[in-house]
A and B are shown apart, each in its own frame.
Chain A
Amino acid sequence: MSGREEVLARVRAALADATPTPAPAHVRAPSPVADVADLFVERVEDYRAEVRRTAAADLPAAVADALAGVATVVVPDGVDAAWTSALGPGVARPDDGLDAAALDQVGAVLTGAAVGIAVTGTIVLDHGPDQGRRALSLVPDIHVCVVRASQLVADVPDAVDVLAVAVGGGRPLTWISGPSATSDIELERVEGVHGPRTLRVILVADA
């Protein structure tokens, strides 16, 4: 018997006298959040990430501010050209198939996001055109992430709802809550291990 057949046979034998439990009714907790944007900012900052709030018109300046001092920033193809319009010449570079070692030499990455979750202060990337492939937002040490206020949801169940389409389409997701961190040494939190050690979030008000 193959491993597959035997494991399945063992499972069936183990359940021979079990009553199948019916699927539970799907619970969805209400999320009473007074101001989603305020809570999102508070919770993201709680992870010691930096948050800037800006009007749509001031986004290029906010991006330039968040990237001040950075020599090169990799920018996924789908990022709106306006976002990088205030950067110095030659700072932004497209994702032209950089390998991991090359990405390691890039100072920062600028991406959009799919969803922001207020209660948990989480940003979810679905790696659409304005977010790029996963390595882009991973290897560079600074991640500047632009989230539109219209992308914010209250809590995790709302985010799971919104993201169902992306998952159904086979896209990978990356949920980011603050910068890379560890508590492996005496449970003392240290921000910054392997992922970007600096996370700067720009929350753009709806136009």
Chain B
Amino acid sequence: MSGTFVGMPAFPTAARKALEDAQLRSNLNHATHTIRDKRARVVAEVDDWEDLRVAGAAIKDEVLTNLDTYLVRLEESLTRAGATVHWARDAAEANSIITGLVRETGAEEVVKVKSMATQEIGLNEALEAAGIDAWETDLAELIVQLGHDTPSHILVPAIHRNRAEIREIFLREMGEVGTPAPAGLTSSPPELAEAARLHLREKFLRAEVAISGANFAVADSGTLVVVESEGNGRMCLTLPETLISVVGIEKIVPTWADLDVFLQLLPRSSTGERMNPYTSMWTGVTPGDGPQDVHVVLLDNGRTDALADSVGRQALRCIRCSACLNVCPVYERVGGHAYGSVYPGPIGAVLNPLIRGTQSPVDKSLPYASSLCGACFDACPVRIDIPELLVHLRSRVVDEKRRGRPSAEGVAMRGASWMFSDSRRWERVQSGVELGGKALRNKPTLGRIPGASAWSDARDAPAPPPETFRSWWERERGR
């Protein structure tokens, strides 16, 4: 019942549409600046933040370069703890495994903990096709689901909605699928949260099957970790009899002790809190406590393609905190939908092409959806060098194009490279520029230029000078 990202246009086209939406720009500006400031305050409290970042990156790198060993170890630990482990090569296989597991229980509905992996594979749509209702229980996911919308942020999927829009969605939609919103609901956030509590309470108390992701999976112990705020995660992870967790293969940490680093990095980077309200950790089945039928689906779905890219591999360190989104000047203005994926923002601009490839218009355009300002790298708790990755993926897009008919840009770039490869060629071009500069008689700037509207529609362009620096030096000082 949510929207989908299939067939998205290239980033610049989608961005133009988003930029025209003044309400969206205002919602995003307010939200990103609020969370950016919160993060900055709590990160500043930690003296050894840099050491923690380095440690986080090192732990993940070690896992990734020994991933086969750790996957087998995780599987052994989970099995020993009473969980059943499934492996999914891609989204279709994961969806089919999960649908089958739900059907076996006889349940016709599931409650869901917010999970990027299940969004990525389109699980809700697959369950719906199988006649199973999937209820999102995170407040923001609920807003997205009830609004027949797509998520636009990793942590706050409804960041593009303001309180008035949320009120309207709740009043219109809640009654269609369960407990309706209270009459007289206002747009105050506590009232909206209360409406969600009442709406979902009924679903939690009767739920037989829950589906979650995991923030971390500890290979040595088989412990899974879900970090959350509202308690919807605890409800799903505790009350139903059956629990199915979809875990990307990159989510592993080797040992329990490694979590100390990530439990410091993640909340401060993500919600900008010293610690998020609730973190649940469970190790397979606990007799007499919580779900007694526990499944874990280990998901590839393109992650091994990212792993095979020696530069791109570092993107798999990502712990989905969304700090890079909140500091990104492009994300702040355009929002998440233009990225055409559940992973928007700077990390999405690299992760999507890495795991989906660079075939579709949107995936080809994503590496270019950045001014390379570098704010994302500074904010990243696991030091993913996103600007470096963007450039790397741009070169992949360019190299793939080399095989076909040469593009105008490709021809121009090759020509410019040839020109710059010899200073005499370059000087001849400069002489031409000087002629233009003389013709323009020291006009400081140019207005709208035919054929260069992408620059000059909004910006004046500098006019060329009548004498280059090189000519000046030669005239004043000789060669």
Contact = CB atoms under 8 A, between A and B. Distances in A.
A179 to B, nearest CB: 7
A68 interface: no
Contact of B231 (A138, A186, A190): A138
B234 A3 contact: no
A144 B47 CA distance: 33
A120 interface: yes
Contacts of B137: 194
A149 interface: no
B2 interface: no
Interface stretch (B30-38, B99-107, B402-410, B419-427): B30-38
Contact of A101 (B205, B254, B263, B289): B205
Contacts of A107: none
Nearest to A29: B48
Contacts of B261: 27
A2 B87 contact: yes
Interface string B170-182: 0000000000000
A81 interface: no
A7 to B, nearest CB: 5
Given A172-B289, A194-B200, A195-B278, A182 B230 contact: yes
Nearest to A16: B308
Given A156-B260, A170-B284, A185 B192 contact: yes
Contacts of B64: 21
Contacts of B86: 3
Contact of A172 (B88, B143, B258, B280): B280
Main secondary structure of the interface of A (DSSP, over half): loop
B289 A133 contact: yes
Interface stretch (B123-131, B268-276, B372-380, B438-446): B268-276
Contacts of A18: 65, 310, 313
A138 B62 contact: no
B35 to A, nearest CB: 5
A207 interface: no
Contacts of B67: 11, 15
Interface-central residue, A3, A22, A173, by most chain B CB under 10 Å: A3
A22 B280 CA distance: 29
B274 A157 contact: no
A167 B304 contact: no
A69 interface: no
A184 interface: yes
B3 interface: no
A135 B238 contact: yes
B156 A168 contact: no
A21 B61 CA distance: 6
A190 B65 contact: no
Contact of A180 (B51, B229, B307): B229
Given A14-B304, A180-B229, A186-B31, A174 B280 contact: yes
Interface stretch (B4-12, B52-60, B449-457): B52-60
A104 interface: yes
Nearest to A19: B65
Nearest to A193: B230
A64 interface: no
Main secondary structure of the interface of B (DSSP, over half): helix
B260 to A, nearest CB: 4
B362 interface: no
A82 interface: no
B138 A184 contact: yes
Contact of B221 (A6, A167, A182): A167
B286 A24 contact: no
A111 interface: no
Interface residues of A, number: 76
Interface in B83-126: 86-89, 93
B358 interface: no
B244 interface: no
A28 to B, nearest CB: 7
B87 to A, nearest CB: 4
Nearest to B85: A4
Contacts of B468: none
A53 interface: no
A15 B68 contact: yes
Contact of B300 (A7, A174, A176): A7
B429 interface: no
Nearest to A17: B310
A167 B217 CA distance: 13
Contact of A188 (B189, B204, B280): B189
A164 B278 CA distance: 19
A18 B263 CA distance: 28
Interface string A1-38: 01110111011111101111111101111000000000
Nearest to B307: A14
Interface in A100-142: 100-101, 104, 117, 119-122, 127, 133-135, 138-139
A181 B286 contact: no
Contacts of B47: 29
A170 B88 contact: no
Contacts of B150: none
B342 interface: no
Interface in B248-292: 249, 254, 256-261, 263-264, 267, 271, 273-284, 286, 288-290
Interface in B428-443: none
Contact of A21 (B58, B257, B274, B276): B58
B139 A174 contact: no
A51 B283 CA distance: 31
B223 interface: yes
B327 interface: no
Contacts of B249: 7, 11
Interface in B200-251: 200-201, 204-205, 218, 221, 223, 229-232, 234-235, 237-239, 249
Given A21-B61, A135-B289, 14 more contacts: A14-B305, A15-B67, A27-B55, A122-B275, A133-B288, A133-B290, A138-B234, A156-B275, A160-B256, A167-B281, A177-B274, A177-B275, A184-B156, A188-B189
Interface of A: 2-4, 6-8, 10-15, 17-24, 26-29, 43, 46-47, 100-101, 104, 117, 119-122, 127, 133-135, 138-139, 155-157, 159-161, 163-164, 167-168, 170-188, 190, 192-196
